[in-house]
């Protein structure tokens, strides 16, 4: 069965790859692109000062990639710093980049930052008094930063990247529909993974005049964004995991029978 993802093709170990391993025909829908932050200075300075942090908190795989890129640019080789990661994909990317991941939120039923903070508490991992580097999206929610501060950590949040809609999303979406043989968009569901993705999808649908297939929101925050944009989600994935996505996909038209 098919599922469209509102983003570019990912690499090995990414969400698209793991869904394919479970038998899903994944259709990358290029409506979003990652860009450097407007001011890369804070990220570069944080990279040079990496060893002054007791912990790095990664909210996404892109945060890992952005910090790893800054470390490479600044010639920082020693990355043996403990890290916590929102999900398993983020944890795997962090480990591959040379960080020592001590906690990840993949085993927690709660999504996103809430799940990671719950995992930190469950593991009794000490963050009080620890200086934490948080490489986040320019548009990222403050949940993880606020949760770590509430637990006594000293958090330095830096803008590591931005996620924006591609230019002319309607043109891109219309071209994507033609390339996939979906001129009016068949019932293939689309996974909307973030508020930024919701905005890009809404703009693309409005510009190209398509109605769109069933929408699966990855979490309540994205579902709220879709409602505000007038294109509510048909289902909300209960957890930001492959299992949560598959469970939501099973209950929508065109999903897994």
Tens digit of each residue's pLDDT, the chain (257 residues): 788 887 655 554 567 777 888 888 888 777 888 889 999 999 999 999 999 999 999 998 889 999 999 999 999 988 889 999 988 888 999 999 999 999 998 776 666 788 899 999 999 999 999 999 999 988 877 889 999 999 999 999 999 998 887 777 777 777 776 676 655 555 578 899 888 888 888 888 887 776 777 899 988 888 999 999 999 999 998 776 788 888 888 887 644 43
| Domain-embedded: residue 143 | yes
Question: Torsion angle of alpha carbons 23, 214, 87, 227, nearest 10°?
Answer: 180
| Domain-embedded: residue 184 | yes
Strands 215-217, 190-192: pairing is parallel
Q: Residue ranges of the alpha helices (H) in 180-241?
A: 195-208, 220-228
* Full domain range(s) for residue 80: 35-163
pLDDT in tens, 47-68: 999 999 999 999 988 899 999 9
| Domain-embedded: residue 215 | yes
What span, in angstroms and rounded, lies between the C-alpha atoms of 17 and 126? Answer: 34
User: For residue 40, what are the CA distances in angstroms to 44, 67, 90, 134, 221?
Assistant: 6, 11, 22, 14, 27
Q: Is 135:43 a contact under the CB 8 Å cutoff?
A: yes
In this prediction, residue 257 carries a pLDDT of: 33
In this prediction, residue 103 carries a pLDDT of: 95
Residues 43 and 146 in one domain: yes
Residues 58 and 147 in one domain: yes
Residues 74 and 103 in one domain: yes
Q: Residue ranges of the alpha helices (H) in 123-241?
A: 143-150, 169-179, 195-208, 220-228
Residues 155 and 205 in one domain: no
In this prediction, residue 184 carries a pLDDT of: 54
Residues 15 and 44 in one domain: no
In this prediction, residue 75 carries a pLDDT of: 95
In this prediction, residue 124 carries a pLDDT of: 95
In this prediction, residue 68 carries a pLDDT of: 96
How many alpha carbons lie under 13 Å from residue 12 in its C-beta half-sphere? 1
What are the E-state strand segments in 92-189? 100-104, 131-137, 154-165
| Domain-embedded: residue 255 | no
Threshold 0.85, pTM exceeds: no
């Amino acid at each position: 069965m098919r599922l469209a993802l509102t983003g570019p093709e990912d690499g090995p170990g990414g969400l698209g790859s793991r869904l394919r391993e479970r038998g899903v025909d994944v259709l990358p829908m290029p409506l979003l692109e990652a860009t450097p932050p407007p001011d890369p200075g804070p990220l570069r300075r944080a990279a040079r000062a990496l060893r002054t942090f007791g912990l790095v908190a990664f909210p996404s795989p892109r945060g890992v990639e952005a910090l790893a890129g800054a470390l490479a640019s600044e010639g920082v080789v020693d990355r043996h710093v403990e890290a916590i990661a929102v999900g398993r994909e983020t944890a795997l990317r962090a480990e591959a980049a040379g960080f020592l991941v001590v906690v990840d939120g993949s085993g927690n039923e709660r999504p996103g930052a809430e799940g990671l903070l719950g995992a930190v508490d469950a593991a009794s991992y000490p963050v009080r008094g620890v200086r934490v580097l948080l490489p986040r999206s320019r548009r990222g929610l403050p949940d993880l930063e606020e949760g770590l501060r509430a637990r006594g950590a000293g958090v330095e949040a830096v803008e590591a990247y931005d996620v924006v809609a591609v230019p002319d999303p309607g043109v891109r979406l219309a071209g994507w529909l033609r390339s996939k043989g979906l001129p009016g968009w068949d019932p293939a569901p689309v996974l909307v993974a973030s508020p930024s993705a919701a905005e890009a999808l809404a703009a693309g649908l409005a510009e190209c005049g398509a109605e769109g297939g069933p929408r699966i929101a990855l979490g309540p925050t994205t579902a709220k964004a879709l409602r505000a944009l007038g294109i509510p989600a048909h289902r909300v994935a209960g957890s930001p995991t492959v299992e949560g996505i598959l469970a939501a996909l099973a209950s929508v038209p065109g999903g897994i029978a």
